[in-house]
Structure 1
Amino acid sequence: MPLPAALVRAHLNFLPDETADDAILAHYGNVAEAWVASYTGLPFDPDNVLMLQAALMLIAHQYEAREAVTFASAYQLPFGVTDLLAGIKRQVLGYVPEPEVSTDG
């Protein structure tokens, strides 16, 4: 289920009938959903308020700052996105030892 367009427009303080940027907002919504899913290791769930808020913050950031880094801000992500998702992020360990094989026969 994609992010509700009305909620995205409300988050950006758009008027309810402002639809000129709907295509780019839908694209940014898809990117935000994919990023949240990739970061957490979980499927994006718009009913999860943490995932939803992080996605809204990412969309707003992408809409307002269409370049990865600007001279005004060296941050690539809006402050707080990773903090919102830290509690639900799957922990991935890089090393898993092989089970020991018994040679006793």
Structure 2
Amino acid sequence: MTITSLPLLKAQLNLDHDFDDGLLSHKLAVAEEWIGNFTGTPFADHDPIPASLTEAALQLAAYWYVQRESASDVRLSAVPFGVLKLINPYRESVTGHVAA
């Protein structure tokens, strides 16, 4: 179960069908897990969830939904532009404190 809502991701992608709801839910779960691993704090442990983390999860899930292949003759990045800027303020430093 994800914190970020499936209807919000579908709005991000302008999808009005439910054919891929299972895949979209999976992409959201992976995006939230990736953000938690990157920041050092599980996504769900933020209370409330900052809007910038929700936006990062939406961008990641949408990007990974559209870019389903790991290799291409087009240059791809692991995460879309701006995601790291959105989540860096929540990344724990070596001392265990969230970076300011």
TM normalised by structure 1 equals 0.78
Deviation at 1:66, TM superposition (A): 0.4
Instruction: Answer yes or no: is the 8 Å Cα contact 1:69–1:75 preserved in 2.
Output: no
Instruction: Answer yes or no: is the 8 Å Cα contact 1:40–1:85 preserved in 2.
Output: yes
Aligned to 2:6: 5
Aligned equivalents of 1:4, 1:70: Cα separation in 2? 30
Q: Which runs of 5+ in 1 are unaligned?
A: 94-105
Aligned equivalents of 2:82, 2:25: Cα separation in 1? 22
Other structure's SS at 2:72 match = coil
Identity fraction in percent = 34
**Between Structure 1 and Structure 2, which shows a larger proportion of helix residues?**
2
Aligned to 2:31: 32
Other structure's SS at 1:87 match = helix
Return structure 1 stretches of 4+ with deviation > 6 angstroms: none
Instruction: Answer yes or no: is the 8 Å Cα contact 1:69–1:76 preserved in 2.
Output: no
TM normalised by structure 2 equals 0.82
Q: Count the aligned residue pairs.
A: 91
Deviation at 1:56, TM superposition (A): 0.5
Q: Is 1:20 the equivalent of 2:19?
A: yes
Structure exhibiting the larger radius of gyration computed from Cα positions: 1
Q: Which runs of 5+ in 2 are unaligned?
A: 96-100
Q: CA RMSD in A?
A: 1.6
Deviation at 1:3, TM superposition (A): 1.6
Deviation at 1:42, TM superposition (A): 1.3
Other structure's SS at 2:73 match = coil
Structure 2 counterparts to residues 1-105 of structure 1, below 5 A: 2-15=3-16, 18-44=17-43, 45=46, 47-92=49-94
